Structures are given as C-alpha cells and as structure tokens.
C-alpha cells in the first residue's frame, strides 16, 4: 500500500466518509485500501445507464462491498440524456447524487479516486489551453463542492501502482472504453505523454512537483482574494469603486472578478479566462452586460455586480457595502 496514501489518511482516521466507486481500477483499489486500514466509509456508486455493461459493473461494486463488509448505496441516473455535453451532464448528476446523500446522512467528507496520472493530464490539458495559475495548479487534494468536502487521497499515487495492486491481489475491475478513444484530448495526452520524459527529460515527478508549487501559490492568493471579497459583498451583491479591481496586478484582478461572479451568480465554476479578460476590458468604461448568471454594470467610477435579473440601480436600501464607495456622484 502506498505510503503517501497512508500518511494522508491519518488525518481522517476518525471521520465518517463516503467514497465514490465506479468499478474502475482507481476507485476499486481506493475502496480496498480504505477497507484494509479500517476506515469508516460508505460506498456510493452511480449507474448512468450509458454503457451496455453498466448494470454488470453496478452488481460487481455491490458484491465487492458485501465481501468487504462496507455499506453500499446505488443511484440510477434516469433523467433524459442531453445530446451535447453528455460527459459534463453525467459528472454533474453523479456529484449531485453523492453530495445529496452526504447531506441527508450527516456525512461531510467524500473521497474520490483521482490519481497522479489524472493530475498530470489535467495540467497538460490546461497548459494546452493557455491556462493561468489556477488551471496549471490542477486539482486540489481537498476542495469543496455543494457544501461537502471532496478529498482525493490518491492524487500523488500513480495509476500503474493501483493497477499493480489489484492485479497482484486478483481484484477485478472494469475498463471504460472511453479511456482509449483518441477523440478525447485527455486520451491523446495519455497515449503520448511518454514523449515528454523520453525525448525532453520532463518526468511525471517533475510535473507533479510543479503542480504542488503552483498549488501553494494558489492557496496564498485564495486567502487574499477571500479577504478582499468579504469587504465588498453585501446581501448577495457587490458594489465597489473601480480601483478595487484595476489597482491589482492583472492576474489578481481576473481572479478577483471571477470569484465575485461565481459567488454572486452561484455557478459551480468561474467563467473562462478569456471571458473574464473581456469583461475586465469592458469594465474600463461605462457599460452593462451579463456573465456567469450575473449582471455587471459600471457607472462613472462605481462597479456593481448582481444576480442576473436583479435590479442594477446603484441606489440600494442596503446602504453602503463594507468597501465604502468613497465618492458621492449622482446616478445619471
């Protein structure tokens, strides 16, 4: 068993947790390791009904949990399936099932089986998109989703080690045929990633080290952003003078704007970097537009962000936000 996994899980030795198990090698190995260390867990499995062998995988997860003496909860995604964005819709549905279950059963921690290869592939995908700090820092080992703590204890464990453990111990697992379909960017990266090491000397370990270093910088910036946002958000809206955004370094201004839009609009993710960059440019002048289920408006030196559909008057019965707009200019 991987020592990095063991060291990390000591922090959760007395925590009741749920674990997402698909039937693939990563999540099956995670389930077995958790059982081996005596973790207090319940297995959550979502059958999306998208593959012919989906029910076979569901039954295997159910049987494996029975053998390991672990409670198991199965969910079936029976909603109409979208023609576009199916993968994203399935992921959203999966997390909704699991986080709802956690809320209903007093569980605040959900384990997922994202591992080191996933982290490296995410970094390279985001590098290809020209992502900034947050994209290149890739996945967090601990994050929040729908009020539930999402933990990835395998994030620095390579996939090969998980597969080797299952093979050596005759533990069955299923392979998703999508994992070998080159139409997906992640699969093409997975199939050609060896070139970085063999021809350029850029090892997996170096890429993981880069994500960790970037992650530490991201955490410092997150703390600063949180302090700044608390000073301008009041009753679900933000009101501030332009210097609040434009006196910051460009990257900080982008992240600050994205976080404000995410918090006020309620979306799971922030707008993409190019959308935020365009929004920041627009806010250099008087304007009014929507982004991320928010309406953004600038008048003179004041900027207002409210949920889409809400009034965009700078006069508000809530009074001044904590940022204290310092100049009293009449609204035209």
SS3 assignment, position 193: coil
In a domain, 143, yes or no: yes
Cα 86 to its chain centre, rounded Å, is 18
Assign residue 134 the CATH number of its domain.
3.40.50.620
**Closest to 259 measured CA to CA, from 281, 288, 279:** 279
Which residue range(s) make up the domain with 86?
A: 3-200
| pLDDT, tens digit, 9 for 90 and up, residues 275-313 | 999 999 999 999 999 999 999 999 999 999 999 999 988
User: Is 87 in the same domain as 194?
Assistant: yes
User: Is 52 in the same domain as 167?
Assistant: yes
User: What pLDDT does residue 316 have?
Assistant: 56
In a domain, 160, yes or no: yes
**What value does the mean pLDDT take over residues 173-198?**
84
d(CA 260, CA 262): 5
Confidence band (pLDDT; 50, 70, 90) for 133? Answer: confident
| pLDDT, tens digit, 9 for 90 and up, residues 2-45 | 999 999 999 999 899 999 999 999 999 999 999 999 999 999 99
User: Is 272 in the same domain as 328?
Assistant: yes
d(CA 54, CA 59): 9
User: Is 134 in the same domain as 242?
Assistant: no
User: Is 188 in the same domain as 253?
Assistant: no
User: What pLDDT does residue 326 have?
Assistant: 42
User: Is 151 in the same domain as 63?
Assistant: yes
Cα 8 to its chain centre, rounded Å, is 20
Structure tokens at 233: 């958000």
d(CA 105, CA 86): 29
Tokens 């009741």 locate to 16
User: Is 142 in the same domain as 285?
Assistant: no
d(CA 136, CA 123): 5
User: Is 174 in the same domain as 276?
Assistant: no
Predicted TM-score (pTM) above 0.85: no
User: What pLDDT does residue 319 have?
Assistant: 45
| pLDDT, tens digit, 9 for 90 and up, residues 203-255 | 999 999 999 999 999 999 999 999 999 999 999 999 999 999 999 988 889 99
Cα 7 to its chain centre, rounded Å, is 23
Confidence band (pLDDT; 50, 70, 90) for 325? Answer: very low
Assign residue 272 the CATH number of its domain.
3.30.465
Contact 77, 47 (CB under 8 A): yes
């Amino acid at each position: 068993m991987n020592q990095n996994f063991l060291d990390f899980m000591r922090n959760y030795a007395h925590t009741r947790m749920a674990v997402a198990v698909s039937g693939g090698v990563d999540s099956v190995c995670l389930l077995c390791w958790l059982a081996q260390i005596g973790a207090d867990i319940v297995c959550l499995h979502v059958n999306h009904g998208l593959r012919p062998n989906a029910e076979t995988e569901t039954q295997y997860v159910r049987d494996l949990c029975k053998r390991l003496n672990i409670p198991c909860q199965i969910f079936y995604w029976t909603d109409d399936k979208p023609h576009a964005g199916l993968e994203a819709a399935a992921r959203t549905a999966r997390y909704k099932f699991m986080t709802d279950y956690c809320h209903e059963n007093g569980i605040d921690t959900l384990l997922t089986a994202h591992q080191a290869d996933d982290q490296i592939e995410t970094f390279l995908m985001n590098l290809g998109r020209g992502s900034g700090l947050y994209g290149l820092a890739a996945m967090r080992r601990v994050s929040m989703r729908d009020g539930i703590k999402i933990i990835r204890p395998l994030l620095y464990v390579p996939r090969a080690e998980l597969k080797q453990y299952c093979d050596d111990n005759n533990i069955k697992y299923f392979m998703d045929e999508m994992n070998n379909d080159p139409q997906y960017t992640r699969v093409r990266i997975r199939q050609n990633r060896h070139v970085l090491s063999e021809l350029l000397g850029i090892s997996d370990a170096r890429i993981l080290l880069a994500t960790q270093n970037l992650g530490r910088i991201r955490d410092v910036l997150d703390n600063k952003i949180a302090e700044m946002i608390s000073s301008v958000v009041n009753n679900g809206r933000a009101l501030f003078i332009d210097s609040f955004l434009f006196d910051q370094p460009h990257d900080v201004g982008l992240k600050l704007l994205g976080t404000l839009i995410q918090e006020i609009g309620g979306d799971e993710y922030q707008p993409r970097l190019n959308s935020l960059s365009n929004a920041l440019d627009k806010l250099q002048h008087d304007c009014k537009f929507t982004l991320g289920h928010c309406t953004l408006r600038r008048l003179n030196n004041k900027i207002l962000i409210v949920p889409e559909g809400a009034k965009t008057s700078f006069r508000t019965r809530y009074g001044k936000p904590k940022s204290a707009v310092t100049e009293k200019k009449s609204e035209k």
